């Protein structure tokens, strides 16, 4: 049963009713912007990194069809790419965007959590932690160019950046909606959201598993700016220039002062957090919820 589902579905944790059409197509949209540039770039299967040595700005294109689900492979590639850029002194800024239509990222890949051994689940969760630790603590300026929906893990990746620009399309939404699926955002998802929109909005959002449309997300401060869909990336580039005008050293120390306490909480609790996740996700009741969700996705695709 599990393997049948795993062959038929490929979707993130976010509740992505609005993504059914893109799931059907599942093609990679290569931006003409990219093709017209002369830049150093390396392409891996799930993430494409484009580095402009003139500006010191790298752009990461999430390109894992159909919906940029965060699988173990995806997360591993992400963290390795991020670490390479972090070590490259000439790289000062990072823009993260999607190469796929309508979706930034659908969040964590359910197939990494369904019908898996506890060991596999633990390895997966460690990779989720790693993604967040590296991104939230990055010394680079990080801007999310959110050109599609961004539920659950997609939202986490977005709010781990320094700045968020979203397509003003009201059909795109963003939020930590795990609760609606019967699972729970861990404390460091929660902390990141509290640091972004405050405790009360976070409480409502997590208790109800709320997804916010782009205009709603702007209103509560979950994103910083809305622009027409075709200007998301160019606006990110313009904003980046403003950020890079600030002395790196002072900006990095200020960022660290704000984020270090939140990061330290996970760093000193990685093993217990993995343990909590594994014992929760491998419960029969949770596995049953995930199966029902996968079957619903399968039916929708049929």
Task: Specify which residues 109 forms β-bridges with.
Answer: 12
Asked if 182 is an active-site residue, the reply is no
* Interacting residue with its own copies among 15, 72, 184, 223 (CB under 8 A): 184
Binding segment (CB under 8 A) for its own copies, from list 13-21, 55-63, 100-108, 251-259: 251-259
Binding segment (CB under 8 A) for its own copies, from list 12-20, 105-113, 149-157, 174-182: 174-182
Residue 102 to residue 169: CA distance in whole angstroms: 10
Least CB distance from residue 39 to its own copies, whole Å? 26
| Angle (CA) 43 55 102, round 5° | 50
Contact 132, 160 (CB under 8 A): yes
209 near its own copies, rule: CB under 8 A:
yes
Residue 93 to residue 237: CA distance in whole angstroms: 10
Site size toward its own copies, by CB under 8 A: 43
Asked if 93 is an active-site residue, the reply is no
- Contacts with its own copies, 5-44, as mask; x by CB under 8 A: ----------------------------------------
Binding segment (CB under 8 A) for its own copies, from list 8-16, 73-81, 131-139, 240-248: 240-248
Scanning 88-226, the segments in alpha helix (DSSP H) are 118-136, 153-159, 187-197, 199-208, 214-220
Least CB distance from residue 183 to its own copies, whole Å? 6
Least CB distance from residue 32 to its own copies, whole Å? 31
Instruction: Say which of 147, 169, 173, 177 is annotated catalytic.
Output: 177
Asked if 295 is an active-site residue, the reply is no
202 near its own copies, rule: CB under 8 A:
yes
Report the Cα 147 to chain-centroid distance in Å: 12
The smaller minimum CB distance to its own copies, of residues 195 and 235, is found at: 195
Asked if 68 is an active-site residue, the reply is no
250 near its own copies, rule: CB under 8 A:
yes
Binding segment (CB under 8 A) for its own copies, from list 5-13, 17-25, 89-97, 256-264: 256-264
DSSP one-letter string for 42-89: EE-SSEEEEEETTTTEEEEEE--TTTTEE-HHHHHHHHHHHHHHHH-T
Query: What are the b/e assignments for 31-65, b being 16+ CB within 10 Å?
Result: beeeeeeeeeeeeeebbbbbbbeeebbbbbbbbbb
The smaller minimum CB distance to its own copies, of residues 26 and 221, is found at: 221
How big is the chain, counted in residues?
302
Crossing angle between the packed helical segments 270-281 and 284-301, to the nearest 10 degrees: 70
Give the residue carrying structure tokens 């509560």. 220
Instruction: Say which of 175, 178, 210, 226 is annotated catalytic.
Output: 178
Which residues, numbered 64-103, are part of the site for its own copies (CB under 8 A)?
Answer: none
Crossing angle between the packed helical segments 118-136 and 72-87, to the nearest 10 degrees: 30
DSSP one-letter string for 277-289: HHHHHTSHHHHHH
Q: Mind telling me the catalytic residues? A: 108, 153, 177-178
Query: What residue ranges bind its own copies (CB under 8 A)?
Result: 162-163, 178-185, 187, 190, 194-200, 202-204, 206-209, 221, 224, 242-243, 246-247, 249-251, 253-255, 257-259, 285, 289
């Amino acid at each position: 049963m599990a393997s049948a589902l795993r062959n038929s579905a490929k979707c993130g944790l976010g509740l992505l009713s609005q993504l059914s059409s893109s799931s059907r197509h599942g093609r990679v949209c290569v931006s003409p912007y990219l093709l017209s540039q002369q830049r150093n770039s390396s392409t891996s299967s799930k993430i494409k990194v484009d580095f402009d040595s003139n500006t010191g700005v790298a752009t990461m294109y999430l390109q894992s069809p159909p919906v940029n689900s965060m699988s173990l492979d995806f997360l591993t590639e992400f963290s390795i790419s991020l670490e390479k850029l972090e070590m490259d002194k000439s790289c000062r800024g990072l823009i993260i965007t999607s190469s796929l239509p309508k979706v930034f990222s659908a969040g964590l890949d359910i197939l990494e959590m369904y019908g898996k051994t506890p060991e596999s689940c633990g390895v997966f969760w460690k990779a989720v932690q790693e993604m967040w630790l590296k991104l939230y603590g990055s010394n680079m300026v990080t801007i999310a160019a959110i050109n599609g929906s961004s539920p659950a893990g997609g939202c986490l990746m977005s709010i781990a950046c320094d700045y968020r620009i979203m397509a003003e399309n009201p059909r795109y939404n963003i939020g930590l909606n795990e609760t609606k699926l019967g699972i729970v955002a861990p404390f460091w998802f929660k902390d990141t959201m509290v640091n972004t929109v405050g405790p009360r909005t976070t409480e409502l959002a997590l208790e109800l598993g709320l997804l916010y449309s782009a205009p709603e997300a702007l209103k509560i401060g979950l994103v910083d700016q809305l622009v027409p869909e075709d200007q998301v990336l160019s606006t990110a580039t313009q904003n980046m220039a403003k950020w890079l005008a600030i002395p790196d050293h002072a900006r990095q120390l200020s960022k660290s002062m704000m984020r270090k306490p939140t990061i330290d909480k996970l760093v000193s609790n990685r093993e217990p957090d993995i343990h909590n996740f594994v014992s929760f996700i491998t419960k029969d009741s949770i596995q049953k919820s995930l199966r029902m969700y996968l079957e619903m996705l399968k039916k929708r695709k049929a």
